[in-house]
Amino acid sequence: MEQGIRRRRRTGFSRTNLLVAGLVVFFSWVPLIQVFTQEVTPDTVRMWLQTEPMAAPYQDLAPSIVRVFESARSEGLPLELLFDKLKEGAAKRVPPARLKPVLEGELNRLLKVRKILLEGFGKDVTRDPFFLQGMKVGALALLSGFPEEGLKIVCTPGIGMEKMVSLIPPLVEMHRIEALPLQPLSSFVQALSASPIPPSQYGTFVSLYLKATAGRIPPPDTLRIMTDVLKAGGGILQIERELARRSRK
């Protein structure tokens, strides 16, 4: 799939195509960044495993699954995110032998993301209304193969938690198309943080990046072009025009 994307050489993207593709990226991540309103405890998990029909295949594993949640609580992690992973695994009928390793993998990712958020935004980040969404999106990014160093670049006070939550999904999709170089990425994020482009339009950068890749613009150059346009006060349309001008047709 990724190789197929890299081989694409079409450059005839209309502005409508860019907007639609951006919205597709946004809405594909919306279910994964839901807002949690009910506190989850190990007892919540224990009760769910006892009463939820789709948890029936995991009855023999219930004590070990609850221990994973107790371990997460001892680390001070919010259990809502891990509980979401448990329900997702049960809904997908993950084999019982794999469910605990899946939860342990998610626990490790959440610990990494929390560390990155605390280092990037400070200890008060846990009170931010977007904290849980940031944890969820960050863990999903790591699961998708996005580098930890890239996540650290995005988690900076200059961009803020709300924008970070909206920016990570497009960056993950861009990284899937062609690996994002970290130094130009840092400059791009800094320029974007000062730009008036609303977070609702961040998904459009995926289409722009794909278009640039199809036009055989190297990823470092693509990010530099985007950065230069943003620093000059330009927006999406100006970036699109500059990439089209630089593309090798």
Question: What pLDDT, on a 0 to 100 scale, did the predictor assign at position 200?
Answer: 92
| Low pLDDT (below 50) residues in the chain | 1-35
Task: Please return the burial class of 207, using the count of CB atoms within 10 Å of its CB with bins 0-12, 13-18 and 19+.
Answer: buried
Count CB neighbours of 27 within 10 A. Answer: 10
pLDDT tens per residue across span 154-198 = 998 888 899 999 999 999 999 999 999 999 999 999 999 999 999
Is-contact 230 191, C-beta < 8 A? yes
Residue that is written with structure tokens 């289409």 in the block: 207
Q: What is the reported pLDDT for 9?
A: 38
Comparing CA positions, the residue from 248, 231, 233, 166 lying closest to residue 205 is: 166
Of 13, 6, 8, the closest CA to residue 244 belongs to 13
pLDDT, residue 157, reads 87
pTM of the model: 0.82
C-alpha distances (whole Å) from 180 to each of 61, 153, 173, 183 are: 40, 12, 10, 9
Identify the pLDDT of residue 39: 83
Long-range contacts of 173-176 (CB under 8 A, 24+ apart): 173/25, 173/206, 174/205, 174/206, 174/209, 175/144, 175/145, 175/146, 175/147, 175/150, 176/2, 176/5, 176/144, 176/145
Query: Nearest 5°: phi and psi at 30?
Result: -55, -45
CB 108 within 8 A of CB 135: no
Q: Is 169 helix (H, G, I), strand (E, B) or coil?
A: helix
Helices 236-246 and 219-231 pack at an angle, to 10 degrees, of 140
Quick one: tokens of 147? Answer: 């580098």
Number of domains in the chain: 1
Query: What is the domain extent for residue 169?
Result: 2-246
CA dist., res. 29 & res. 166, Å (int): 9
Beta carbons within 10 angstroms of residue 59's beta carbon: 12
